[in-house]
Chains A and B, each alone.
Chain A
Amino acid sequence: MQVTINVNGEDRTAEVEARHLLVRFLRDDLGLTGTHWGCDTSNCGTCVVLFDGEPVKSCTVLAAMAAGHEVRTVESLETGDGLDPVQQGFIEQHGLQCGFCTPGMMMSARALLDRNPDPSEQEIREAISGQLCRCTGYLNIVRAVQWAARHPAGTANETETETAGSTP
């Protein structure tokens, strides 16, 4: 069957089987390999993309079900104006080590900040609670999102440190 999905602002069409998963459509058909594919059992969250603006696990959505919808992947974060504050935050706060979980973490963070520009530490932890990171222990990811919230323009102009983990 033919499906057309609006991916990162552009209509993309491919001929796929009905059983084709959205994560495969993005990676195999469009070559957008920024979205990672891990557990394939809707547990790890590395495949998270935004579906009509909200995070979903793309290993558990059929490409056919996404037809006619808007999907945003990690590739859309960087624009002509530079890196998204979330990306910059991951750099500033050392929010990744191996980087496998990072695309999903960044997309959940982006969706959170779009709805709630000033989230609490607890709200950030809740937002990424469906995603696993085997390297960082999460603390630096939370700090990266806090950094992004404090620097909506994406540039570091202050020297303040993030507060995650400093309260009991």
Chain B
Amino acid sequence: MTVRSYGFGAIALEAAVQVPATFEYRRASSVEDALALLERFGEEARVIAGGHSLLPMMKLRLARPEFLVDINDLHELDYLRLEGGELLIGALTRHRTLLESELVGRLFPIFHDAERVIADPPVRNRGTIGGSLCQADPAEDLSAVCTAVRAVAVILGPGGRRSVPMQEFYRGPYETAVGAGELLVEIRVPVRPNAGSAYRKVERKTGDWAVAAAGGALSLADDGRIGWAGIGLAAVSTSLAGYRRVEEALVGREPTDELFTEAGRIAAEDCDPLSDLRGTEEYKRHLAGELTHRALTLAAERARAAGGTGGKDA
């Protein structure tokens, strides 16, 4: 049976079919090997990392790759390090590693805020940041986080290596800048002085996808005003880059509660949620505004704490 709609009914019907369709499995032994396998099998090949988005989709026949290239042996893509003023995150870094990293928590608490509420411990043991960003689910948390902190995705392919800012990486639901034959290898996050970041999410139950979520990052200038701001929302739009008006409203202003309320109001106006099982459009708009307000308030507190201790990072 084929799925004719992505609606809940179709998924419930398909739930009887719980084994993926047939495919050929190859385990890549190096990044070069993975690229060679992807090139050889072309459009019909898919990378599998944690498999916690892809395998459920394959069981439901929402994805039907003919070849799976398993990249789990590529330990060279599983790393976190600070280099040249950037936090470098290998694409195969698991959710759990991000959550347990002291470095990540210190530089970008927004990642820890999000990771605490992404799925559950067994899922976090398998799922990777690369798989999360490449899945590009509109409700996916790390895409919103990476947008807020202005991360850059490094993509490797037959044509070489290129860097794509998060806003261009995410092309819409389930679509990214990663082309056939290409591999996301690294996520780079610029570290800013006197900065703070935070993520706030409302979900129906532990481990569930967001009803709505908001990430905010900002840095404070010497005079205490906001020098730079980045916003990313999850589950309330099919675009990630739609919050420039919010960012512009913040820069150059004092980080006050009124300002963050205003920022939330603009975010609620500029998002584009759909009514579904998780809530009505109106409710999600309300959440988008309130969560933007809360994320920015906490981000500003963290930025002040970072500045107050003379630290260059937060």
Chain A contact residues, CB within 8 Å of chain B: 1, 17-19, 21, 40-42, 45, 48, 51, 54-57, 60-62, 64-65, 67, 108, 126-127, 129-131
Contact = CB atoms under 8 A, between A and B. Distances in A.
B20 A55 contact: no
Contact of A60 (B56, B68, B70, B207): B56
Nearest to B120: A130
Contacts of A67: 27
B22 interface: yes
Interface of B: 15, 18-25, 27, 48, 51-52, 55-56, 58-59, 68, 70, 72, 96, 119-123, 125-126, 206-207
Contacts of A108: 121-122
B51 A65 contact: yes
Contacts of B21: 19
Nearest to B72: A65
Given A19-B19, A40-B59, A61-B126, A129 B120 contact: yes
Contacts of A42: 52, 56, 123
A95 B25 CA distance: 40
B62 to A, nearest CB: 13
A56 B125 contact: yes
Given A41-B15, A62-B55, A17 B22 contact: yes
A29 B241 CA distance: 49
Nearest to A66: B72
A24 to B, nearest CB: 8
Nearest to A53: B125
Given A56-B126, A60-B55, A60-B56, 14 more contacts: A17-B22, A18-B24, A19-B58, A42-B52, A51-B125, A54-B96, A54-B125, A56-B125, A64-B27, A65-B72, A108-B121, A108-B122, A129-B206, A131-B122
Contacts of B70: 64-65
B137 to A, nearest CB: 14
Contacts of A41: 15, 18, 56, 59
A100 to B, nearest CB: 17
Contacts of B58: 19
Nearest to A48: B122
B125 A55 contact: yes
Contacts of A48: 122
A108 B96 CA distance: 15
Contact of B51 (A54, A61, A127): A61
Given A48-B122, A60-B51, A65-B51, A19 B23 contact: yes
B98 to A, nearest CB: 15
Given A19-B21, A19-B22, A48-B122, A130 B207 contact: yes
A132 B41 CA distance: 40
Contacts of B122: 45, 48, 55-57, 108, 130-131
A18 B120 contact: no
Contacts of B72: 65
20 contacts: A1-B25, A18-B22, A18-B23, A19-B23, A41-B15, A41-B56, A51-B125, A54-B125, A55-B125, A56-B125, A60-B56, A61-B51, A62-B55, A64-B70, A67-B27, A126-B121, A130-B119, A130-B122, A130-B123, A131-B120
A18 B123 contact: no
Contacts of A21: 19
